[in-house]
Chains A and B, each alone.
Chain A
Amino acid sequence: MLDLLLQPLSEPFFVRALLAIVLSGTTCACLGAYVVLRRMAFVSTALTHSILPGVVGALLLGLSPYLGALVAALLTATGAAWLASRKGTSEDSAVGVMLSVMFAAGIALMQQANSWRDFAGLLFGSVVSVGREDLIVIGITAALVLFGLRVLHKELELASFDEEYAALLGARPALMRAVLLVLVALGSVACVRLVGALLTTALFVIPAATGVLLGRTVPQVMAWGAGCALLGGFSGLYLSYYAPAVPSGAGIVLCCALPYLAARLFAPRR
């Protein structure tokens, strides 16, 4: 049994994949706490899907795919905020418009690049192909996001719980919302190698939803969420190692859903 766990560790790609899971899983779970508590799951889906045109565009232009992803996600966030700032368009539909426009643009760009197969990793994730440069980028974005969450913890918590009181104190809840969107954009960049643009939102929502069932304070929600993401990430990776028919991205998401299901069934009602 122990051999089954230790044997893959002799492969460098597996160790890199584990590291990537630790870094981006923790980041996404902590950010996800606010995404779930503020009911921003749809916005986070839009941001993660808009990575597609960003990365493809960057590859066509010969730029860094991570830069493209970040720019596209930020563009989606500002675009949705601008569309919703006019009366008559709800935020919900503004996000829906941006999500579909960006994704369609991504598909059109992929046609230009003339090869769908190259982008399978982008769409569905390929944590086993994470290289050293990828790890560095993931590490930097994870550090930035966790730093932001730590130093703005009390403001983010306050603005998420009682927006009006945050405004009354002068703690700028609208700014905090914008900061959170930027952090989600950064977090999506960190996660896209793990599970792909289509499923990144799962890493924001599933672990944090588990955390909300189990935690009684925001830090507890984050800790439970991170635990769930690590457990799911590790088991998904081992699963796809021993059963290569299961792609790693799908395996990770499916394995993250198990702790959620367990918490949903067995967590005490509050």
Chain B
Amino acid sequence: MSRIITALSRHLGEAAFSILPSIPYAQKELNGCPGIAVSAKQLSAAARLDGPVAFHDATFEIPCGCRTALIGPNGSGKSTLLRVLAGLTPIRSGEVLVAGESPRLGRSRLAYLAQRPHLTELFPLKLRRLVQMGTYAHHGWFEECRHGDEVIDRALTRLGLADLAERPVHTLSGGQLQRALIARAVVQGAEILLLDEPYAALDQPSREIIDRFLFEEGSAFTVVMATHDPADLGRFDRILEMRDGAVSTRHACSGHDHRHA
């Protein structure tokens, strides 16, 4: 019975889609980092529209392929800076370019992972479907997304999730979910990853898998990661310190630019 309903709904769905034009969510983007991934001049922003500024006059650059740690005490504006780069929070003044463009929503080459993602609890969704959502970036309205299986499988394997693909999302551990969200960013084709304390509350195996993924295996991501862990800092190419509303660069990126040459 359910098979008949599925087949019927598939055929009706295809008929419905065939009479509608497919419209992309946003302007299509070609990958390929132009040399500087992020550049900010005199940038200031606030967490909330009517709130106080979180940081001001920030001037810094992040080259392509550079792994940057964002450090500073709680409330120093790390999350706000990441949300500004993602296009989720408007800037107050100054200017900022992310991969050559002002921040906006609808950019497939950018992925942002919140510290605590607000996912609807107990939503009936399998892990595979969650990762597949990354492919939507390359499609749009009135289009079905059943393809991308190969890319999804590869991302699942790279993040050690292949065995969990059919598991409901709400049964995953925090670490498994975090890896699934990174896999979704990979499927999306993101080259700049904005990660807000991805290691908070992570079990050791998940941490190692994410570490290996971000820092080894010759992956060509530009990473901007807010972190509290001083032991981590050795692996980063560049450290941005945020303190009392100011942003300072600690040490520069050392020769990772060739990854994109």
A interface with B by C-beta (< 8 Å): 37-38, 147, 150-155, 157-158, 160-165, 167-172, 212, 215-221, 223, 270
Contacts and interface: CB of A to CB of B under 8 A. Distances in A.
B5, B130, B133: which has the most chain A beta carbons within 10 Å? B133
B124 A217 contact: yes
Nearest to B2: A223
Interface in B171-194: 171, 184, 188
A163 B129 CA distance: 16
**Nearest 3 pairs of A and B residues by beta carbon:** A170-B106, A170-B26, A170-B25
A154 B9 contact: no
13 contacts: A147-B16, A151-B142, A157-B125, A161-B120, A164-B118, A165-B117, A165-B133, A168-B86, A168-B106, A169-B108, A212-B122, A216-B126, A218-B125
B145 A154 contact: yes
A150 B9 contact: yes
Given A154-B136, A163-B118, A217 B129 contact: yes
B6 to A, nearest CB: 8
B30 interface: no
Given A161-B120, A217-B129, A270-B168, A150 B136 contact: no
Contact of A158 (B110, B124, B136, B188): B136
Nearest to B135: A154
A121 B120 CA distance: 38
Contact of A221 (B114, B117, B120, B124): B124
B105 interface: yes
B5 A223 contact: yes
B9 A219 contact: yes
B114 A150 contact: no
Contacts of B133: 154, 158, 162, 165
Contacts of A169: 25-26, 105-106, 108, 136-137, 188
A150, A152, A160, A223: which has the most chain B beta carbons within 10 Å? A150
B88 interface: yes
Interface residues of B, number: 45
B215 interface: no
Contacts of A38: 120
Nearest to A157: B125
Interface of B: 2, 5-6, 9, 12-13, 16-17, 20, 25-26, 86-88, 105-108, 110-112, 114, 117-120, 122-126, 129-130, 133, 136-137, 141-142, 144-145, 168, 170-171, 184, 188
A173 to B, nearest CB: 10
Per DSSP, chain A at the interface is helix
A235 B133 CA distance: 40
Nearest to B20: A151
A142 B153 CA distance: 38
Contacts of A168: 86-88, 105-107, 110-112
Given A154-B136, A169-B105, A171-B25, 10 more contacts: A37-B124, A150-B13, A151-B20, A161-B125, A162-B133, A164-B88, A164-B114, A165-B133, A169-B106, A212-B122
Contacts of B112: 168
A162 B117 contact: yes
Nearest to B108: A169
A37 B120 contact: yes
Nearest to A39: B120
A221 B123 CA distance: 10
Given A160-B120, A162-B118, A218-B124, A167 B13 contact: no
A157 to B, nearest CB: 8
B144 A154 contact: yes
A220 B124 contact: yes
Contacts of B6: 219
Contact of A151 (B9, B17, B87): B17
A41 to B, nearest CB: 14
